[in-house]
């Protein structure tokens, strides 16, 4: 008998064929066979570019030495679920581009595009490319057990608009984007093209003339620690990651973006100005790959009168939920867990420990990314493992890796404590409860201790006045301007060194402080050079860099970003500005107006806003008008607000974002019903210093880990730092009015309101309904289930099997594929939709639908 799926494909093909014929008979300029051809061609183009990129990526990663751009690409390159989402968007974008090209070629006049593409055509394109599945709202369940924890993707946090704030959705726009062609091409794409009556300067020219700072000229910020900087990056990795296109070559003609100054999607190389501070050859460029578009955005703009401009995708959940520890997809989340027992732990490194304390597990993908030959000497000569965590940037530099390690330990510490108090909890309940507590810690430390130091007193009062409850109408998504410009303010607080100090907060005698470029992608240093403590002490005991209008970005970041070898280092300042043009961010003045601030019209007015005539003059020399100043640059140039580390524009943008993340989060720690009153009270004792005390061997530290104190003034012993009392999490196994929860042998249970859900220990299988509910008459609605040993009863396992992912990959592939790691309903639905699309796609590619 033919397998079910082939019958399905045949039926789908017939339906599509009918559809196409009907359109062809209409005799319209663009009938569906035309659309179909465009889709087929686009799929072929994208698949070819992806395949070639993959081959070249593999070759690069196995090379002896890596270029800085290889390293950036490593964490920007879409993989797993991100790749599925990005690929769909690129199929769609390229289909529409081909259609557009055809329209221009054939009709040579401007046409009302709605006459050319019917709604059905668009629907077909969206369906076949996979975009429809990605954009369809999932169904949110509302049973007590499912809805009690955040989903990993954060879908259904907002129950009315379930995708708000979830991973793999477009960034939120607070202002419409500003593209050169109105819908897709970055500003500055065409050399000499005017914006607000003036051409934009090259970003590298701006970087040279405004940002340049010698490492030794950096000024210390004696108010805040270097850990203040590190927390900023940590929280950013909880909020946003915009992936590159899945191709590193042009779709049309296969030109490698890394070796060209040609500007064609997705290549948007950074050109070198005359008289550059470092690069003398103007014919080379710093590579830059455009961020991937989100489904259904971009090229459609010209067809539908600029209603659909290019959007970029956030790989992460927007919410402050510690997704950098747990992952933003079900697949990754499961991969990071220790599922071999019922302790609710995260998986840890099996080969190495930090004097008995845990390290993150290694990523199973082997590459030379995380250390040069000879410097990495773990498993064997050819293997230089990277760590794996919930965020792909974990290995980017040793400071962020230190945070990842400490937060992994904190999860496991919480899980062990909780399990001790509640031995009846399953591994899953223990894991979820520890995850929920860690999420609350992150929110409290961020909003109570960190954000006010960033935005200052006035903005804190304005945006973070006392919590008034969850508001479903607030969009909690990360704004494109925040990810691409505003929150990158933290780049100005990075020291050119990563400090490593001993117990007395003196330079470590054995493991000296590192120039930052020596700390990029070198996780082996954590294991081989003293573990977490010297680095964490360095973050606590040394000040952050001070952002000053005349000392902006040190050479470590402007000339040596990701430079491990002699290759061309990247420039973080240029990347930030090129990225904001890539994302179509409007200029400085548009954002000043958005925030209700004055918009300077000339150099004089800019001087008074910046309180700096020289800087205003240099900016106007480059941009000619304040309108055009790249928003990141304009915003970081403003003098600080009182009590803060940013100026008024950033205080507004960052303040608004954190307000939305608080008030638009149904699982916000203060929201009614998320924690009990006694739990809420206990949680407030948390501090970053406490987390460090509990998970390192550090004994003395500043009480407030963000505020710089010269050791030993203001340093306290860990015993003086308050602890969170977890006794409020002890669960009484009673349900009113039924009394004690019935004990089932070999089962764990958890209680939600008046219901009890049982799960069996591994090896045992559940017989009967898993949930019992206590009725108002004091009786249980049914008998509890049993846990039986299938070996002894001959009972067959009929549950979906959990199959481990392949080498590092983790794409949900469906019942016949290899990598369903969890059976969450959302994932199963997604898989089914994806399978459908793949089949339709295959039918189109093989030409079956058009040729019969
Ligand atoms: C040593 C420390 C750091 C390094 C090496 C670093 C490096 C980078 C790099 C290479 C990018 C990607 C640039 C691009 O191609 O668009 C980036 C993005 C970003 N960084 Fe940093 N960064 C550091 C610290 C920080 C800090 C302290 C903050 C904030 C307080 C921050 C906030 C951001 C944000 C918001 C993004 C955009 C993320 C996205 O949506 O893709 N970074 N950083």
DSSP calls for 653-693: HHHHHHHHHHHT-TT-TTSTTTS-HHHHHHHTT--HHHHHH
pLDDT tens-place string over residues 698-739: 999 999 999 999 999 999 999 999 999 999 999 999 999 999
The DSSP call for residue 207 is: I
Q: Is the pLDDT reported for residue 808 higher than 90?
A: no
pLDDT top residue among 810 and 224: 224
pLDDT tens-place string over residues 47-65: 999 999 888 877 776 665 6
Own/partner long-range contacts of 303-308 (Cβ < 8 Å, ≥24 apart): 303/96, 303/99, 303/100, 303/113, 303/116, 303/117, 304/113, 304/114, 305/113, 306/182, 306/183, 308/183
| Residue 367's pLDDT band (cuts 50, 70, 90) | low
The pLDDT, as a whole number, for residue 254 is: 87
Encoded tokens for 785: 């289930």
The pLDDT, as a whole number, for residue 772 is: 96
Active site residues: 237
The pLDDT, as a whole number, for residue 817 is: 32
Which of 207, 236, 455, 542 has the most ligand 1 atoms within 8 A of CB, as the residue to mutate?
236
Using N-to-C axis directions, what is the helix angle for 226-239 and 398-421, rounded to 10°?
70
- Name which residue sits closest to atom 38 of ligand 1, judged by CA: 241
Domain boundaries along the sequence of the chain: 4-141+825-851, 732-793
Q: Is the pLDDT reported for residue 770 higher than 50?
A: yes
CB 408 within 8 A of CB 435: no
494 lines ligand 1 (CB under 6 A): yes
DSSP-based three-state secondary structure for 771: strand
487 lines ligand 1 (CB under 6 A): yes
Q: Which residues make Cβ contacts (< 8 Å) with residue 639, sequence separation at least 6?
A: 549, 610, 611, 612, 647
Average pLDDT, integer, range 759-772? 93
In this prediction, what percent of the chain has a pLDDT beyond 70? 83
Encoded tokens for 555: 């050479």
Q: Is the pLDDT reported for residue 847 higher than 50?
A: no
Other Cβ atoms closer than 10 A to 79: 20
Question: Which helix (H) or strand (E) is 750 found in, with range?
Answer: strand 747-752
Which of 224, 488, 585, 653 has the most ligand 1 atoms within 8 A of CB, as the residue to mutate?
488
C-alpha to C-alpha distances, 671 to 96, 107, 410, 440, nearest whole angstrom: 44, 58, 23, 11
CA atoms within a 13 Å half-sphere pointing along the CA-CB vector of 399: 30
The pLDDT, as a whole number, for residue 17 is: 34
Class level of CATH domain 732-793:
mainly beta
Q: Is the pLDDT reported for residue 766 higher than 50?
A: yes
| Residue 475's pLDDT band (cuts 50, 70, 90) | very high
Q: Is 495 exposed, middle or buried (0-12, 13-18, 19+ CB in 10 A)?
A: buried
Cα separation, 451 vs 573, in Å, equals: 23
633 lines ligand 1 (CB under 6 A): no
The mean-pLDDT minimum among 279-283, 353-357, 494-498, 701-705 falls in 279-283
Which of 450, 487, 491 has the most ligand 1 atoms within 8 A of CB, as the residue to mutate?
491
Highest mean pLDDT among 63-67, 757-761, 817-821, 831-835: 757-761
233 lines ligand 1 (CB under 6 A): yes
Distance 491 CA to ligand 1 centre (A): 7
Q: Which residues make Cβ contacts (< 8 Å) with residue 763, sequence separation at least 6?
A: 789, 791
Reference 394, options 458, 327, 345, 451; nearest CA is 327
318 lines ligand 1 (CB under 6 A): no
Going by the annotation, the residues of the binding site for heme b are 491
pLDDT tens-place string over residues 821-841: 333 334 333 433 444 445 545
pLDDT tens-place string over residues 661-692: 999 999 999 999 999 999 999 999 999 999 99
Q: Which residue matches tokens 């945070």? A: 403
Cis peptide before 712 (omega within 30 of 0): yes
pLDDT tens-place string over residues 561-598: 887 655 678 999 999 999 999 999 999 999 999 999 99
Distance 555 CA to ligand 1 centre (A): 16
Going by the annotation, the residues of the binding site are 491
The pLDDT, as a whole number, for residue 61 is: 65
Reference 470, options 673, 657, 664, 320; nearest CA is 664
| Residue 368's pLDDT band (cuts 50, 70, 90) | low
Q: Where are the beta strands (DSSP E) in 547-704?
A: 553-554, 700-702
The pLDDT, as a whole number, for residue 583 is: 98
Cα separation, 336 vs 353, in Å, equals: 17
Beta bridge partners of 701: 716
The pLDDT, as a whole number, for residue 825 is: 36
**What DSSP string describes 44-98?**
HHHHHHHHHHHHHHHHHHTSSS--HHHHHHHHHS--HHHHHHHHHHHHHHHHHHH
In this prediction, what percent of the chain has a pLDDT beyond 90? 66
C-alpha to C-alpha distances, 572 to 42, 99, 204, 560, 758, nearest whole angstrom: 33, 37, 10, 9, 52
pLDDT tens-place string over residues 488-527: 999 999 999 999 999 999 999 999 999 999 998 888 899 9
Q: Is the pLDDT reported for residue 754 higher than 90?
A: yes
The pLDDT, as a whole number, for residue 172 is: 96
Atom of ligand 1 nearest to the CA of 478: 40
Average pLDDT, integer, range 4-25? 35
C-alpha to C-alpha distances, 739 to 144, 422, 588, 825, nearest whole angstrom: 20, 17, 63, 32
Average pLDDT, integer, range 86-109? 80
Q: Where are the beta strands (DSSP E) in 435-520?
A: 497-498, 514-515
DSSP-based three-state secondary structure for 121: helix
Atom of ligand 1 nearest to the CA of 493: 27
Q: Which residues make Cβ contacts (< 8 Å) with residue 3, sequence separation at least 6?
A: none
DSSP-based three-state secondary structure for 639: coil
Distance 788 CA to ligand 1 centre (A): 52
Distance 849 CA to ligand 1 centre (A): 46
Cis peptide before 812 (omega within 30 of 0): no
Encoded tokens for 299: 């090229």
Q: Is the pLDDT reported for residue 293 higher than 70?
A: yes
CB 335 within 8 A of CB 329: no
227 lines ligand 1 (CB under 6 A): no
Cα–Cα–Cα angle for 587, 592, 594, rounded to 5 degrees: 95
The pLDDT, as a whole number, for residue 137 is: 80
Cα separation, 168 vs 812, in Å, equals: 15
The pLDDT, as a whole number, for residue 64 is: 57
488 lines ligand 1 (CB under 6 A): yes
Reference 71, options 362, 334, 397; nearest CA is 397
The pLDDT, as a whole number, for residue 76 is: 83
Cα separation, 648 vs 654, in Å, equals: 10
Q: Is the pLDDT reported for residue 108 higher than 70?
A: no
The pLDDT, as a whole number, for residue 784 is: 95
pLDDT tens-place string over residues 401-420: 999 999 999 999 999 999 99
The mean predicted confidence, pLDDT, of the chain is 86
The mean-pLDDT minimum among 68-72, 108-112, 376-380, 432-436 falls in 376-380
Distance 288 CA to ligand 1 centre (A): 15
Q: Is the pLDDT reported for residue 73 higher than 70?
A: yes
């Amino acid at each position: 008998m033919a397998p079910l799926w082939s019958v399905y494909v045949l039926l789908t093909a017939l339906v599509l064929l009918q559809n196409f014929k009907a359109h062809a008979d209409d005799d319209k300029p663009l009938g569906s066979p035309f659309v179909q051809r465009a889709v087929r061609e686009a799929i072929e183009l994208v698949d070819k570019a992806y395949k070639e990129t993959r081959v070249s990526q593999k070759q690069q990663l196995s090379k002896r030495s890596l270029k800085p751009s290889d390293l950036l690409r490593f964490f920007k390159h879409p993989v797993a679920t991100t790749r599925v989402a990005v690929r769909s968007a690129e199929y769609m974008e390229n289909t529409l581009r081909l259609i557009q090209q055809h329209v221009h070629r054939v009709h040579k006049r401007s046409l009302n595009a709605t006459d050319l593409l019917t709604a059905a055509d668009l629907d077909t394109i969206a369906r076949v490319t996979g975009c429809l599945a990605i954009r369809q709202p999932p169904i949110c369940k509302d049973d007590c057990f499912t809805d009690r924890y955040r989903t990993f993707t954060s879908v259904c946090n907002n129950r009315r608009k379930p995708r708000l704030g979830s991973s793999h959705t477009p960034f939120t726009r607070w202002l419409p984007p500003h593209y050169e062609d109105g819908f897709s091409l970055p500003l500055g794409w065409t050399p000499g093209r005017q914006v607000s009556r003036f051409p934009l300067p090259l970003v590298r020219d701006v970087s040279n003339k405004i940002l340049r700072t010698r490492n030794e000229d950096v000024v210390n910020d004696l108010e805040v620690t270097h850990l203040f900087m590190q927390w900023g990056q940590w929280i950013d990795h909880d909020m946003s990651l915009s992936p590159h296109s899945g191709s590193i070559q042009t779709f049309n003609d296969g030109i490698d973006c890394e070796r060209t100054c040609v500007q064609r999607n997705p290549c948007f190389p950074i050109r070198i100005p005359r008289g550059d501070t470092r690069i003398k050859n103007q014919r080379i460029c710093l590579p830059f790959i455009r961020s991937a578009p989100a489904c259904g955005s971009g090229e459609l703009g010209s067809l539908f009168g600029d209603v659909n401009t290019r959007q970029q995708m956030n790989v992460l959940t927007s919410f402050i939920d510690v997704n950098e520890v747990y992952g933003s997809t079900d697949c990754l989340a499961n991969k990071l867990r220790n599922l071999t027992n019922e302790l609710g732990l995260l998986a840890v490194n099996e080969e190495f420990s930090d004097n008995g304390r845990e390290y993150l597990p290694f990523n199973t993908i082997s590459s030379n990314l995380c250390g040069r030959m000879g410097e990495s000497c773990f498993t064997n000569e050819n293997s230089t493992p990277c760590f794996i965590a919930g965020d792909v940037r974990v290995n980017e530099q040793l400071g962020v890796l230190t945070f990842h390690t400490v937060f992994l330990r904190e999860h496991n510490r919480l899980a062990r404590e909780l399990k001790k108090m509640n031995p009846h909890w399953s591994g899953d309940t223990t894991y979820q409860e520890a995850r929920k507590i860690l999420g609350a810690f992150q929110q409290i430390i961020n909003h109570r201790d960190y954000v006010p130091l960033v935005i200052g007193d006035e903005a804190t009062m304005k945006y973070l006045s006392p919590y008034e409850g969850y508001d479903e109408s607030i969009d909690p998504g990360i704004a494109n301007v925040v990810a691409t410009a505003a929150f990158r303010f933290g780049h100005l607080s990075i020291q050119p060194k990563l400090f490593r100090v001993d117990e007395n907060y003196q330079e470590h005698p054995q493991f000296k402080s590192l120039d930052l470029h020596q700390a990029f992608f070198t996780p082996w240093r954590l294991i081989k050079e003293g573990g977490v403590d010297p680095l964490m002490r360095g973050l606590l005991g040394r000040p952050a860099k001070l952002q000053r209008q005349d000392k902006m970005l040190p050479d470590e970041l402007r000339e040596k970003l990701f430079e491990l070898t002699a290759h061309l280092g990247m420039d973080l300042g240029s990347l930030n500005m090129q990225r904001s043009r890539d994302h179509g961010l409007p200029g400085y003045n548009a954002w000043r107006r958005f925030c209700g601030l004055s918009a300077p019209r000339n150099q004089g007015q800019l001087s008074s806003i910046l309180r700096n005539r020289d800087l205003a003059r240099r900016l106007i020399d480059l941009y000619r008008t304040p309108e055009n100043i790249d928003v990141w640059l304009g915003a970081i140039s403003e003098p600080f607000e009182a009590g803060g580390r940013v100026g008024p524009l950033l205080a507004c943008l960052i303040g608004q974002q954190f307000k939305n993340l608080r008030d638009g989060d149904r699982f916000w720690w203060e929201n009614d019903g998320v924690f009990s009153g006694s739990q809420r009270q206990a949680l407030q004792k948390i501090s970053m210093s406490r987390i460090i005390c509990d998970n390192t061997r550090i004994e003395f530290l500043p009480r407030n880990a963000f505020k710089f104190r010269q050791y030993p003034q203001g340093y306290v012993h860990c015993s003086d730092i308050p602890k969170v009392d977890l006794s409020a999490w002890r669960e009484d196994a009673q349900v009113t009015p039924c009394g004690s929860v019935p004990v089932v042998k070999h089962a764990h249970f958890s209680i939600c309101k008046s219901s009890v859900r049982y799960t069996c220990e591994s090896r045992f299988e559940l017989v009967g309904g898993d949930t019992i509910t206590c009725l108002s008459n004091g009786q249980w609605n049914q008998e509890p289930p049993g846990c039986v040993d299938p070996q002894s009863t001959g009972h067959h396992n009929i549950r979906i099997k959990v199959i481990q992912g392949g080498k590092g990959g983790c794409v949900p592939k469906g019942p016949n594929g290899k990598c369903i790691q969890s059976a969450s309903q959302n994932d199963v639905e997604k898989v089914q939709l994806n399978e459908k699309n793949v089949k339709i796609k295959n039918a189109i590619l093989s030409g079956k639908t058009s040729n019969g």
